[in-house]
Amino acid sequence: MERVVFALPKLHGKSRGILTEEEENKLVMNVFTELEDLRKRRFSNITTWKVKAAKRKYCFEMPLPHGEHCFVKIKYPATMPPLPSGLTGNTFEALFGCY
Protein backbone atom coordinates (compact mmCIF):
# COMPACT_ATOMS: atom_id res chain seq x y z
CA MET A 1 0.00 0.00 0.00
CA GLU A 2 1.06 3.54 -0.65
CA ARG A 3 -0.08 6.90 0.65
CA VAL A 4 -0.98 9.40 -2.06
CA VAL A 5 -1.02 13.10 -1.22
CA PHE A 6 -1.62 16.02 -3.56
CA ALA A 7 -0.08 19.47 -3.01
CA LEU A 8 -1.73 22.52 -4.56
CA PRO A 9 0.91 25.00 -5.80
CA LYS A 10 0.51 28.56 -4.54
CA LEU A 11 0.12 31.23 -7.21
CA HIS A 12 1.54 34.68 -6.65
CA GLY A 13 -0.37 37.28 -8.65
CA LYS A 14 -1.71 34.99 -11.39
CA SER A 15 -5.01 33.20 -11.68
CA ARG A 16 -5.37 29.48 -12.22
CA GLY A 17 -6.10 28.33 -15.73
CA ILE A 18 -4.02 30.94 -17.57
CA LEU A 19 -0.56 29.57 -16.75
CA THR A 20 1.69 28.38 -19.52
CA GLU A 21 3.22 24.92 -19.36
CA GLU A 22 6.60 26.47 -18.55
CA GLU A 23 5.13 28.41 -15.61
CA GLU A 24 3.41 25.26 -14.31
CA ASN A 25 6.68 23.32 -14.53
CA LYS A 26 8.46 26.04 -12.57
CA LEU A 27 5.74 25.96 -9.89
CA VAL A 28 6.03 22.18 -9.62
CA MET A 29 9.82 22.34 -9.26
CA ASN A 30 9.51 24.99 -6.53
CA VAL A 31 6.97 22.85 -4.63
CA PHE A 32 9.15 19.76 -5.05
CA THR A 33 12.21 21.61 -3.70
CA GLU A 34 10.32 22.90 -0.67
CA LEU A 35 8.70 19.52 0.07
CA GLU A 36 12.04 17.74 -0.18
CA ASP A 37 13.55 20.25 2.25
CA LEU A 38 10.60 19.76 4.65
CA ARG A 39 10.94 15.99 4.41
CA LYS A 40 14.62 16.13 5.32
CA ARG A 41 14.18 18.62 8.19
CA ARG A 42 10.80 17.81 9.79
CA PHE A 43 9.77 14.41 8.48
CA SER A 44 13.02 12.45 8.43
CA ASN A 45 11.08 9.26 9.25
CA ILE A 46 9.70 9.41 5.67
CA THR A 47 12.79 8.03 3.98
CA THR A 48 11.63 7.76 0.36
CA TRP A 49 8.89 9.14 -1.83
CA LYS A 50 8.04 9.75 -5.45
CA VAL A 51 6.92 13.18 -6.63
CA LYS A 52 5.53 14.26 -10.02
CA ALA A 53 3.19 16.80 -11.58
CA ALA A 54 -0.40 15.70 -12.09
CA LYS A 55 -3.49 17.31 -13.60
CA ARG A 56 -6.59 16.75 -11.48
CA LYS A 57 -10.10 18.18 -11.33
CA TYR A 58 -11.14 19.85 -8.09
CA CYS A 59 -14.60 20.99 -7.01
CA PHE A 60 -14.78 20.81 -3.23
CA GLU A 61 -14.46 23.15 -0.26
CA MET A 62 -11.59 25.44 -1.31
CA PRO A 63 -12.55 28.49 -3.39
CA LEU A 64 -10.90 27.28 -6.59
CA PRO A 65 -12.45 27.59 -10.02
CA HIS A 66 -14.01 24.29 -11.01
CA GLY A 67 -12.05 22.31 -13.55
CA GLU A 68 -8.61 20.89 -14.07
CA HIS A 69 -5.62 22.18 -12.09
CA CYS A 70 -1.95 21.33 -11.77
CA PHE A 71 -1.11 19.47 -8.54
CA VAL A 72 2.04 17.83 -7.22
CA LYS A 73 1.42 14.13 -6.56
CA ILE A 74 3.40 12.57 -3.70
CA LYS A 75 3.51 8.80 -3.17
CA TYR A 76 5.24 7.04 -0.29
CA PRO A 77 4.83 3.76 1.64
CA ALA A 78 1.85 3.52 4.00
CA THR A 79 4.13 2.10 6.69
CA MET A 80 5.49 5.63 7.14
CA PRO A 81 3.46 8.21 9.11
CA PRO A 82 1.02 10.55 7.36
CA LEU A 83 1.84 14.18 6.69
CA PRO A 84 -0.14 16.71 8.77
CA SER A 85 -3.31 17.80 6.99
CA GLY A 86 -2.89 21.51 7.77
CA LEU A 87 0.64 21.69 6.38
CA THR A 88 1.29 24.67 4.08
CA GLY A 89 4.42 26.26 2.74
CA ASN A 90 5.79 29.16 0.77
CA THR A 91 5.14 27.39 -2.55
CA PHE A 92 2.01 25.30 -1.83
CA GLU A 93 -1.39 26.22 -0.39
CA ALA A 94 -2.69 22.89 0.88
CA LEU A 95 -2.18 19.13 0.99
CA PHE A 96 -5.02 16.79 0.04
CA GLY A 97 -5.23 13.15 1.07
CA CYS A 98 -3.45 13.41 4.43
CA TYR A 99 -5.09 10.99 6.84
Domains in the chain (CATH in brackets) are 2-96 (3.30.70.2820)
pLDDT number for residue 17: 63
Q: Is 87 helix (H, G, I), strand (E, B) or coil?
A: coil
Which pLDDT value is given to residue 14? 65
pLDDT at 15: 63
pLDDT mean values, one per 10 residues, the chain (99 residues): 91 69 88 94 91 83 75 93 90 87
Predicted confidence at residue 68, as pLDDT, reads: 81
How far, CA to CA in Å, does 2 sit from each of 14, 23, 50, 68, 78? 33, 29, 11, 24, 5
**pTM of the predicted model as reported, rounded to 2 decimal places:** 0.85
